[in-house]
Structure 1
Amino acid sequence: MSPSLFAAKSYRTPALVLRTHKLGEADRIVVLLTPEHGQVRAVAKGVRRTSSKLGATLEPFMFVDVQLVRGRTLEVVTQAQLRAPYGQALAADYARYTSAHAMAETAERLTETDGESGAAQFRLLHGAVAALARGDTDPGLLLDSYLLRALATAGWAPSFTDCVRCGAPGPHTAVNIPLGGVVCHDCRPAGSQSPAPETVGLLAALLSGDWSRANGSPPGARREAAGIVAGYLQWHLERVVKSLKHVERA
């Protein structure tokens, strides 16, 4: 391959490693989320050999600068430089590690076919993973906030303040997942949930990023909110995020 043709097929980008899986005896497929190219699937050749310098860099939740060569079905990793070792901090804490897995699985699902919101999804996930790695906020709250905001970024913004049917200002006491949030008494359809007022307030805080209110929420509201968020996520993805079953709730 001539140098000019190689350059045309090669590009460099920052990326978050979402997931990896084995390929053959020594290679690995790496699923990346990038700000400009959306989700990228690439082959990292030889990284499972003990002599490879890329193996520890291309692990889940690492923030890297990666050099890629375009391929027919998969890109090929030629270089990778570590920018932030989030994965190392997360691997040391089960709650943060499992929350990060649920975030990464959700990001992968949301960016499989949606290239338009890739930059926004990258920024959102990067901020959430960095916050998890710092360890100064409850991982369950970070996860639920991320899930709600990722869905909103993908075009499925819920409302936990105004009625999703008629727009009547809240507070309201019923939540309907298929409709996308709270409903007033007149609009409430059969099958709506009746969470505690503290739960509805927490959901609104998680969506808006009101961390002073979210951090002060009681454990019961956090558990109830987590169930509503998981239901809303499954409704729109039309499948279960498997990593969620491993997340421990207080």
Structure 2
Amino acid sequence: MLYRDEAVVLRTHKLGEADRIITLLTRQHGRVRAVAKGVRKTSSRWGSRLEPFTHVDLQLAEGRSLDVVTQAETVTPFASGLGHDYERYTAGSVMLETADRLVTEERQPSVQQFLLLVGGLRAMTGGEHGPGQVLDSYLLRSLAVSGYAPSFDHCARCGDEGPHRWFNPAAGGALCADCRLPGSASPAAETLRLLGALLSGEWPVVHATDPRHRREASGLVAAYVAWHLERGLRSLEYLERS
């Protein structure tokens, strides 16, 4: 059975002499793994369309364990806008890995995650916002869509309205003094406001923040992601070294 869908290529690996297995985040079918036959041959007409970061329109044939790509047309070549900027490229790589980790069920609709990833890659290549802020916003939103929405202006445990001075990833975000857990961080009030703006997409607020609060916010986002994904993102390590 044939079907069509939009997708973003998340990762690839070699199969045999000339094929590749492509991991895709599709709009209507969620996470899909498919074989792209012959794409490693120099004569392949559409091998370059199935590289990570590429937004494609696909036709696939259903298979027992792996589907088969039968047609591929490029919608947006995001890789071309990231390849010459190391910081944006590594931040984009974190986004792809996050999508791959969050959407775990095969062939289940995940429209919101797909739209978030396409929008995040578009913002990453657009250059209007800093790559670190685009990434942090994407991470917070993708976790929220997956059911791990953090709280920044109310206590995550009792619901009391803030602002509050404590933050704990295991508890779900900001904590009041009564609900504070051992080991909770105590970020600046400006950092918590920045985190709320990143989650809601209030870019004027984000742009007006001080770099030290952006760095602190990025550290809290990384800790929040690591907790809820149960282990850190490998690609995030490269971003932190850049």
TMscore range, shorter length:
over 0.9
SS of the residue 2:171 aligns to: coil
For 1:78-125, what per-residue CA distance to the aligned partner results, in whole angstroms no more than 9, with x for missing partners? 110011111111112111111111001000111112866611100111
Distance across 1 between alignment mates of 2:197 and 2:114: 22
**RMSD over equivalenced CA pairs, Å:** 1.4
Equivalent residue for 1:86?
A: 78
Distance across 2 between alignment mates of 1:129 and 1:87: 9
Equivalent residue for 2:228?
A: 236
Equivalent residue for 1:64?
A: 56
Measured at CA, do residues 115 and 174 of structure 1 come closer, stay the same or move farther in structure 2, by a change above 3 Å? Answer: farther
1:119 corresponds to which letter in structure 2? V
Equivalent residue for 1:18?
A: 10
Equivalent residue for 1:139?
A: 131
**Which of the residues 117, 138, 146 maps onto 1:154?**
146
Deviation at 1:133, TM superposition (A): 1.3
SS of the residue 1:185 aligns to: coil
| 1:226 to 2:197 alignment | no
**Which of the residues 20, 23, 30 maps onto 1:31?**
23
| 1:214 to 2:206 alignment | yes
1:169 corresponds to which letter in structure 2? E
Equivalent residue for 1:119?
A: 111
The answer to whether the 8 Å contact 2:37/2:69 transfers is yes
1:247 corresponds to which letter in structure 2? L
Give the TM-score, by structure 1 length: 0.93
Measured at CA, do residues 148 and 116 of structure 1 come closer, stay the same or move farther in structure 2, by a change above 3 Å? Answer: farther
Equivalent residue for 2:66?
A: 74
The answer to whether the 8 Å contact 1:17/1:32 transfers is yes
For 1:169-210, what per-residue CA distance to the aligned partner results, in whole angstroms no more than 9, with x for missing partners? 111111011001001111112111001111111111111111
SS of the residue 1:71 aligns to: coil
2:56 corresponds to which letter in structure 1? V
1:236 corresponds to which letter in structure 2? H
1:10 corresponds to which letter in structure 2? L
Measured at CA, do residues 249 and 209 of structure 1 come closer, stay the same or move farther in structure 2, by a change above 3 Å? Answer: farther
Measured at CA, do residues 152 and 249 of structure 1 come closer, stay the same or move farther in structure 2, by a change above 3 Å? Answer: farther
Question: Equivalent pairs: percent with the same residue?
Answer: 55
1:184 corresponds to which letter in structure 2? C
Q: Structure 1 unaligned segments of length 5 or more: list them.
A: 1-8
Deviation at 1:53, TM superposition (A): 1.0
SS of the residue 1:76 aligns to: strand
Measured at CA, do residues 116 and 218 of structure 1 come closer, stay the same or move farther in structure 2, by a change above 3 Å? Answer: farther
Measured at CA, do residues 11 and 116 of structure 1 come closer, stay the same or move farther in structure 2, by a change above 3 Å? Answer: closer
Measured at CA, do residues 114 and 208 of structure 1 come closer, stay the same or move farther in structure 2, by a change above 3 Å? Answer: farther
**Which of the residues 22, 29, 43 maps onto 1:51?**
43
Q: Structure 2 unaligned segments of length 5 or more: list them.
A: none
Q: Which moved more, 1:125-134 or 1:107-116?
A: 107-116
Give the TM-score, by structure 2 length: 0.96
Equivalent residue for 1:4?
A: none
Distance across 2 between alignment mates of 1:79 and 1:114: 20
SS of the residue 1:84 aligns to: strand
